[in-house]
Chains A and B, each alone.
Chain A
Amino acid sequence: MNIGGAAPGAEAQSAALRRAQALLVRLYFSDALQRRYLADPERVFAQLGLSPRFRACFPDVGSEAFGAECRGRRILVAREIAARYARTFELLLEELPEAGPLRFNHIVASELFCSFIASEHFLGRSRSLPAAAGIGVGYEGVSKFFFWLDETFGLSLPGAPGELRIRAFAEFGRQLVAVSKFSSDAFYAGLARGAFFRMAVEDRCCIVITAELAVESGVQLGEREGLVDLDALVASVKATFPGGAPRARPAAALTR
């Protein structure tokens, strides 16, 4: 239950405000929605049941200024996830600069990143893990990006691209173990001792993320006790997503 929100008797107006809010926020991140909007803004507002007054109050989405704000926001998101998925990005993006603004610019300009920030994984709140501070889901981009990678590339399915699965799971796992050191959310409690995942979906050979955040490969299932099974954890979390556990699908291919 949210504090404030629709005042009594103003539910219809509140619903319109929510649609207007959602439209503007999504326009900052979705290039496809921007194109659709710029081609025929009146149609977009009509489809959402928003009056011409909303149209008149929106910023100029086609302006350089709006573009500058979009870019600034996207760079912030890129900084957050690039720091945690450095090796994953090196595999996914060609000619990725080593560090600094050039690296973020390269990520922001990539089809991969643009696809992520336009997705429901990013724009929604349900396909993510609880925030470390115990305030619920949908507040950070690191887990959103992992679950988007997992679904887009089929990382949890037989035949998943091997090196991508290893890098993404390892970096995601390190993030979870690191967060467990200071989080107040019960979700992370068991991760403080470390985690493991299978090198391939049906493999008995595992990679371990230790409590000290070291990554050790070639460990056999059963050799390390007390660690969280990351494959099982990911599956159980995805079962709570809208639509439940995803159906088996081939890994999508995105151009690098």
Chain B
Amino acid sequence: MTQIKIGARWDISSQNPRFARARDAGLLDYVEVNYPVADNHGADTLGLPIFAHTSNNPIASAAGIPEPVARAVKAGADASDSPWIGEHLAWLSAEDSGALGYVFTPLLMEEFAEQAAHNARCLAAYYGRPLALELAPVYCPSGEFASELHFLNEVARRAGCDIILDVAHWQISNRNLRRPADYGLDALDAERIIEIHVAGMRKSAGAPYWHDAHGMPLNDDVLAMARRLTRCLPKLRAITFEHAHDAPEQEFYDNLRRLREVVS
């Protein structure tokens, strides 16, 4: 089995000092840059491989993907020779471009599956690199597919893409939809999952719903699931820790250490 690398999500240059310290402590194997970024970002000065990722391309949008965003992502991926580009199987807005703060899970319909597969094929050709698709958290059931994970796998299959299993998003969805913690894993082609994301999650105050929370540390459930996945996914190559740029710095290092223990 290929050695699994540990990385962290990078959004802004103020993260460079903590990334440098983590690198020096042997905690980081790569930097996952969330494109597009400012030209003078400095992530490329850290001396670590860069994996390209974006949450700014609406892979599932009926309007397709705005070229300016894709161009910026491609430039970053080409500059770092990223092995793949992480993308979101999502909408971003009600319009042909723009965004409204957080990605939207599309309607889980056959037509949107085909639309997303078409968009992904076109984008992969534009990039000249493979794509890996991930899902956003889900709160309500919708559509015709058994679940969003079945939808993801079908799109990945049609588009010839790999998959990023965002463990936090997956666990949030399973909790919100009252499903077992491992629900949906068997709906995914194990050989397509090349990367997993791990992050914090938070529960609503006064309501039984969970949300993505990059400002919080990893919980034991997410870590336990990550450990399980490292042992059952034959093509898993990378684990990315998503931690907010303004979250406590010591937490960044502590969670990377915990991840290394999980993988070892």
* Given A26-B94, A57-B144, A101-B205, CB of A132 within 8 Å of CB of B111: no
* Given A3-B126, A25-B93, CB of A68 within 8 Å of CB of B98: no
Q: Does A21 contact B (CB under 8 A)?
A: yes
* Given A4-B64, A57-B142, A135-B66, CB of A73 within 8 Å of CB of B100: yes
Q: Which residues of B contact A28 (CB under 8 A)?
A: 104
Look across to chain A and name the residue whose beta carbon is closest to the beta carbon of B121: A4
Whether B63 pairs with A2 at a CB distance below 8 angstroms is yes
Whether A133 pairs with B207 at a CB distance below 8 angstroms is no
Contact residues of B between 137 and 169, Cβ < 8 Å to A? 139-144
Q: Which residues of B contact A58 (CB under 8 A)?
A: 107, 142
Contact residues of A between 1 and 27, Cβ < 8 Å to B? 1-7, 13-14, 17-18, 20-22, 24-26
Instruction: Categorize the interface residue count of chain A.
Output: 35 or more
Whether B99 pairs with A139 at a CB distance below 8 angstroms is yes
Instruction: Categorize the interface residue count of chain B.
Output: 35 or more
Whether B142 pairs with A59 at a CB distance below 8 angstroms is yes
Q: Does A69 contact B (CB under 8 A)?
A: yes
Q: Does A134 contact B (CB under 8 A)?
A: yes
The A/B interface has a contact count, at CB < 8 Å, of 163
Alpha-carbon gap, A125 to B36, bound state (A):
18
The 7 lowest CB-CB distance pairs between A and B, nearest first, are A138-B98, A5-B64, A4-B119, A125-B98, A2-B64, A17-B62, A59-B140
- Apart from A17-B115, A124-B95, 14 more pairs, CB < 8 Å: A2-B67, A3-B70, A22-B95, A28-B104, A54-B109, A58-B107, A68-B139, A72-B209, A73-B100, A125-B96, A128-B98, A134-B72, A136-B69, A138-B99
